[in-house]
Amino acid sequence: MNTKTSLFAAAGLGLLVSLQASTLVVGYSGTGYVSANQPLGGAGTAFDSGVPISPAAGYTGPTFYGAVATSDSSAAPISDWAIFNDLFFANIPLTSDWIGIATGSTMAGADKHHYGLVFFKQEDFSDFSTLPGGVRLSADTKLSFRVRRTGGNPSFVRFVIETDAGFFASSSTELSSGQANGVELVALADPTSTNWFTYDPATSISVVGGASNPDLTNVIGMGIWFDNVRAGSAMSGMGFYVTDIQLTAIPEPSTYAALFGLLAIGFVLVRRRVWA
């Protein structure tokens, strides 16, 4: 094989190998701006993947979508949804940007559940926004974020994905009981190893369905779900905040096929020039 042809083939193989590596597709951290609070009223707001959250001018993070809800609208109304930066909340300094979801005052009585979903769509992925489809999750990809919560007793989180078949939620992870008002890393090192469940956020933020086995080769959206619980408390200011969101993936298989086809054409053209 001619030296030029060999170099072309080696370069093409290297490109394909590099593209199969895990790559950050959504990253949220340190955007340096504070949005205006976005009042929701009542018990919360429904999820609508067509209506993104609209931060104030100057926000440089990825567009995101979301919804919040509570199991007791009269006792624990949702007050606002906002992006906070360098603020104090319940005497806790927030020293970097956080997507924050806060409730109003609560009343003593039954446990209150504060549910929320922060979601990113395929077209908002930072690295592969021009792909015709989504991205692929595999054993080599990782989903993670850092969370801070104010008050509450147990708190549970799930990762949420969207495919052509709909939405799915991962197994639930309970946050460490000693981390209230602190910062905790939540990570899913292998999305193929967790159990997945059906989920329809447009119908209900809080209800997660039965076990499912979603196809992870064409994921068109990813997000974070939480259930923050206030157990019979009269305290106020229950909140949930996420930052350092790192959602990694690799291009879907159809992208490999298209790239391989282009490399094959180039290889043929090089050979024709060599043997002409």
36-50 pLDDT tens trace = 556 655 567 889 888
- Is the residue at 15 inside a domain? no
- Is the residue at 210 inside a domain? yes
> For residues 69 and 117, is the Cβ–Cβ distance under 8 A?
no
> For residues 239 and 104, is the Cβ–Cβ distance under 8 A?
no
- Is the residue at 9 inside a domain? no
Q: Which of 218, 221, 215 is nearest to 65 (CA)?
A: 221
- Is the residue at 10 inside a domain? no
Could you tell me the CATH number of the domain that includes residue 84? 2.60.120
**65: its two tokens:** 């979508």
- Is the residue at 153 inside a domain? yes
- Residue-wise pLDDT for 160-202, tens only, equals 999 999 999 999 999 886 666 678 899 999 999 999 999 999 9
Count up the domains in the chain and report the number. Answer: 1
Averaged pLDDT in 10-residue chunks for the chain of 276 residues: 46 41 79 55 77 69 84 64 59 64 64 85 80 87 87 83 97 79 87 97 94 95 89 64 88 51 45 50
- Is the residue at 2 inside a domain? no
Question: 10 Å Cβ neighbour count for 75?
Answer: 18
- Is the residue at 107 inside a domain? yes
pTM of the model: 0.80
The parent domain of residue 58 ranges over 22-252
pLDDT at 228: 83
- Is the residue at 62 inside a domain? yes
